[in-house]
Chain A
Amino acid sequence: MRARNFTGCLFTLPRIISFLLFWLFPLLYSLLLGFTDYRLMRPSFQWVGFDNFIALLSDRAFLISLKNTFIFVLGTIPVTTVTALFLALLIEKKFPGRTIFRSGYFMPSITAMVVIALVFANLYSRGGYIYLLAEMLGLAPPENGFLLDNRTALISIMAMDVWMSVGYYMLIFLAGLKSIPRELYEAAEVAGAGAWCKFRSITLPLLKPVALFIIVINTIKSFQVFVEVFVMTKGKYDTSTAVYFIYESGLNRFEFGYASAAAYILFLIIAIFSLVQFRLFRRRAIW
Chain B
Amino acid sequence: MKNVICFTVTALAAVLLSCSSGDRRSGVVTLDWWQFWTDPSVKPTIEQIVADFEAQNPGINISITDLTWANGHEKIVMAFASGTAPDIVELGSDWIPELSSAGKLADLTGDAAGDSADFSAWTPGTYDNQIYAFPWILGTRVLYINTVLMTRAGYDEDFVPFNWPQLKELCYKIDSLGKDMYGFGANAAEKHRLYKKFLPFLWSNGGSIMSRDGSFSTIASDKSYAALKFYKELCDSTGMVDTQRRLEDAFLEGKVGVIISGDWLLKRIRNEQHDIPFITALIPGPKFPGKSFVGGEYLAVSRQSKYKSAAIKFIRFLTSRDNQLLFCKANYTATPSSKTAAKDPFFAKDPQLQTFVKQLNLSKMPKVDQHWVYIEDVLETTLENVLYQGAPVAESLYEAKLEIEKIVSGQ
A-B contact pairs, 6 of them (CB 8 A): A41-B80, A41-B81, A148-B189, A150-B389, A235-B191, A251-B77
Known: A144-B188, A251-B77, A252-B73. 10 other contacts (CB 8 A): A40-B81, A41-B77, A41-B99, A41-B104, A143-B241, A148-B188, A150-B389, A231-B70, A234-B191, A236-B188
Q: Which residues of B contact A (CB under 8 A)?
A: 70, 73-74, 77, 80-81, 98-99, 102, 104, 188-191, 241-243, 246, 373-374, 384, 389
Q: A125 an interface residue at 8 Å Cβ cutoff?
A: yes
Q: How large is the interface on A (under 10, 10 to 19, 20 to 34, 35 or more residues)?
A: 20 to 34
Q: Which chain B residue has the least Cβ–Cβ distance from A122? A: B246
Chain B residue contacts of A40, Cβ below 8 A:
77, 81
Nearest CB of A to B91, in Å:
14
Q: A198 an interface residue at 8 Å Cβ cutoff?
A: no
Alpha-carbon distance A125/B243, docked complex (angstroms) = 10
> In the bound complex, do residue A144 and residue B242 qualify as a contact, i.e. CB atoms below 8 Å apart?
yes
Chain B residue contacts of A125, Cβ below 8 A:
242-243, 246
> In the bound complex, do residue B190 and residue A236 qualify as a contact, i.e. CB atoms below 8 Å apart?
yes
> In the bound complex, do residue B374 and residue A253 qualify as a contact, i.e. CB atoms below 8 Å apart?
yes
Alpha-carbon distance A234/B187, docked complex (angstroms) = 14
Nearest CB of A to B173, in Å:
22
Q: Please tell me which one of the listed residues B70, B74, B189 contacts residue A251 in the complex, with CB atoms under 8 A apart.
A: B74
Alpha-carbon distance A150/B391, docked complex (angstroms) = 14
Chain A residue contacts of B189, Cβ below 8 A:
148, 236-237
Alpha-carbon distance A148/B240, docked complex (angstroms) = 12
Q: A141 an interface residue at 8 Å Cβ cutoff?
A: no
Chain A residue contacts of B384, Cβ below 8 A:
236
Q: Which chain B residue has the least Cβ–Cβ distance from A114? A: B70
Q: Please tell me which one of the listed residues A144, A150, A231, A254 contacts residue B77 in the complex, with CB atoms under 8 A apart.
A: A254
Nearest CB of A to B243, in Å:
8
Chain A residue contacts of B80, Cβ below 8 A:
41
Alpha-carbon distance A253/B70, docked complex (angstroms) = 16
Q: A4 an interface residue at 8 Å Cβ cutoff?
A: no
Q: Which chain B residue has the least Cβ–Cβ distance from A143? A: B241
> In the bound complex, do residue B373 and residue A253 qualify as a contact, i.e. CB atoms below 8 Å apart?
yes
Alpha-carbon distance A126/B73, docked complex (angstroms) = 30
Q: Please tell me which one of the listed residues A41, A126, A234 contacts residue B190 in the complex, with CB atoms under 8 A apart.
A: A234
> In the bound complex, do residue B98 and residue A41 qualify as a contact, i.e. CB atoms below 8 Å apart?
yes
Alpha-carbon distance A143/B104, docked complex (angstroms) = 46
Task: Produce 1/0 per residue, A28-42, CB < 8 A to B.
Answer: 000000000000111
Chain A residue contacts of B191, Cβ below 8 A:
234-236
Alpha-carbon distance A145/B242, docked complex (angstroms) = 8
Nearest CB of B to A120, in Å:
14
| Among A42, A144, A145, A237, residue most surrounded by chain B Cβ atoms (within 10 Å) | A144
A100-129 interface with B by 8 A CB criterion: 114, 125-126
Nearest CB of B to A122, in Å:
8
A144 in contact with B241 given A40-B77, A236-B190 (CB within 8 Å): yes
Alpha-carbon distance A162/B104, docked complex (angstroms) = 44
Nearest CB of A to B152, in Å:
21
> In the bound complex, do residue B373 and residue A126 qualify as a contact, i.e. CB atoms below 8 Å apart?
no
Chain A residue contacts of B102, Cβ below 8 A:
41-42
Q: Please tell me which one of the listed residues A143, A148, A234, A254 contacts residue B98 in the complex, with CB atoms under 8 A apart.
A: A254
Q: Which chain A residue has the least Cβ–Cβ distance from B191? A: A234
Alpha-carbon distance A263/B246, docked complex (angstroms) = 34
Q: Which chain B residue has the least Cβ–Cβ distance from A145? A: B242
Alpha-carbon distance A42/B99, docked complex (angstroms) = 10
| Among B80, B99, B246, residue most surrounded by chain A Cβ atoms (within 10 Å) | B246
Chain B residue contacts of A145, Cβ below 8 A:
242
Chain A residue contacts of B242, Cβ below 8 A:
125-126, 144-145, 148
